[in-house]
Amino acid sequence: MRTLCDHSTMFGRSGSIQLARVFGIRVGVDFSWFVVLFLVIFWLSHSFQETLGSSDTTAYLTAVASALLLFASIVVHELGHALAARRHGIEVAGITISPLGGFALMSRESRTAREELTVAAAGPLATLAIVVVSVLVGVALVGAHRFVDAALLATGAHVTPVLLTIGFLVTMNVIVLLFNLVPAYPLDGGRMVRAIVWQLSGDRNRGTRVAARLGQAFSIVLIGGGLWLTIGLGSLVGIWFVLVGLMIGGSSRALLAQTALTEQLEDVRVGDIMDADPVSVPEELPAAQALDEFFLRYRWPWFPVVDAAGRFVGVLREEGARHAVEGGRPVQLVRELMEQDETGRWRIDEDQSLRALLDADGLRTLGAMMVLDGGGVLRGVVTLGRLRRALRAALGGRP
C-alpha cells in the first residue's frame, strides 16, 4: 500500500541528494540529473555561441546560468504544488528533480474535487508567473522584437547573454507549461480533468478512470512519436519521449488497478475490519501504573487513552510514561503525558469506507486509526496489519 503520493511536473524517482530546504521543504536531485545537466549545458553552449557570436567562455557561462535557472523554475513549479497542498493539510515530504522532470512527494491524495483541482493547478500557475515576469522584464529591457529573437535563439540577432538567458527561460517554461496542461494523468492537466469530472459526477472513481485512460492514450502518442524521432530522424530527443511515455503509461495503468480495488472495497466499512476489543489506558491513571500494567505487560509502543466515559482523547507512548517515572514523577497522570488528538488525525468513524481509511494521516504517522462511534467513544482500533489482510482478501488472497 502506498502511503505517499506524488504530484509531478513529469516524473522521477524518490532517491535523491538534498540541495536545499525551501519553506521547510526538502529539495533534492536524482543522481542521474547531474549527467543530464552536463549534457544540457554542452548542447546549450554550442547553440548559444552561434546566437551570441561571442567567445566560448561567454557562451558556456550563459549556458550554465540558463540551465540552472531552468532547474530553479521546475523547483518553483513543484513548490506551487507543495504550498497549495500544505494549505489543505497535506504534508509534503520533499521535492525531487530528475532527468524526466520533478515531483513533490505528498502524504496523501486529495479528499475533495476542489482540493485536487487547487493543488493540480498551483504548479502551472507558478510556471505561468515565471513566464509573465520574464517576458515583462525582457520586453522592458529591449523591446518585443529583440526579445522574441532571443527566445527563439535567432542567429545573427543582436542578443546579449542576459537577454538570451531570459529568452531561453521563457521558451522552456512555456514548453513545460503546455506539456503539463495536457489532459492526461499523471500530468497536471490530467489531474485537473480528474477533479472536474469528479466534481460534476460526484464520483471520484469516474474522474480517475477518465484521467487514467487519457494518460494511457497520451503515452501511446509519446512512445510512437519518440520512436519516429529516434529511428526515422536519428534524434536522441526521441528516447526522452519514449521514457516519459512509458512512465505515464505505467502510472495510468497502476491508477486504474488501484481504482478497481477501491471499487471492490466500497461496501467494506472500517467497523468490519477493526479490532473490536482494544486495550486502552484511562486518562486518570498514574504514569507508574500505566508503565507497569500496560507497556511492560503488552510490550506495545503506544496505547489509546480514554476518559471516564470511554471517549478517545489521545495517545500515550511508552517513552512518555517511562520519562515521567524515571524523572521522579511516577504519580503524574496519563492525561498530562499523552499526545492529545485535537485535530482528529488518529480517529475515524466506524461507518467510514476503506477508501477514507486509506487516506487517513494516522496510518502513516501512527500505523493505526482509532475507530469511534457517533459520540466519540472508542469502539475499536484498525492497524496497518488488519488493513493489509483486508486488501489481500479483497484481491482473492488469503486473509
Mean of pLDDT values over 23-39: 86
Determine the pLDDT at residue 142.
75
Architecture of the 270-394 domain = Roll (3.10)
Distance CA 20, CA 30 (A): 14
- Max CA separation in the chain (angstroms): 84
| Percentage of residues of the chain with pLDDT beyond 90 | 45
- Average per-residue pLDDT for the chain: 85
pTM equals 0.73
* For residue 326, pLDDT beyond 80: yes
Residues 293, 380: contact at Cβ < 8 Å? Answer: no
Distance CA 82, CA 128 (A): 16
Distance CA 264, CA 390 (A): 11
Spell out the residues 6+ positions from residue 342 whose beta carbon is closer than 8 angstroms to its own. Answer: none
**Which DSSP category does 31 fall into?**
T
Q: What are phi and psi of 348, to 5 degrees?
A: -150, 150
Select from 353, 245, 208, 310 the least CA-distant residue to 10. Answer: 245
Determine the pLDDT at residue 9.
43
Residues 225, 244: contact at Cβ < 8 Å? Answer: no
Q: Which residue has the cell 492526461?
A: 184
Distance CA 333, CA 92 (A): 35
Determine the pLDDT at residue 260.
81
Kindly state the cell numbers that stand for 368. Answer: 493505526
Q: Residue 97: beta bridge partners?
A: 29, 102
Determine the pLDDT at residue 11.
38
* For residue 110, pLDDT beyond 60: yes
Residues 309, 331: contact at Cβ < 8 Å? Answer: no
C-alpha dihedral (369, 370, 373, 374), degrees to nearest 10: -80
Highest mean pLDDT pick, 12-21, 41-50, 147-156: 41-50
Q: What are phi and psi of 99, to 5 degrees?
A: -60, -25
Determine the pLDDT at residue 287.
94
Detail the DSSP E strand segments found in 277-377.
281-282, 302-306, 312-317, 339-340, 347-349, 368-372
* Annotated domain spans of the chain: 1-181, 183-264, 270-394
* For residue 54, pLDDT beyond 80: no
Banded pLDDT at 14 (limits 50, 70, 90): very low
Distance CA 150, CA 359 (A): 47
Banded pLDDT at 131 (limits 50, 70, 90): very high
Determine the pLDDT at residue 154.
55
Detail the DSSP E strand segments found in the chain.
5-8, 17-22, 25-29, 92-98, 101-106, 281-282, 302-306, 312-317, 339-340, 347-349, 368-372, 378-383
**pLDDT of 206-251, one tens digit each?**
999 999 999 999 999 999 999 998 888 777 778 888 988 999 999 9
Residues 271, 348: contact at Cβ < 8 Å? Answer: no
Q: Residue 347: beta bridge partners?
A: 370
Distance CA 122, CA 77 (A): 8
Kindly state the cell numbers that stand for 168. Answer: 531561453
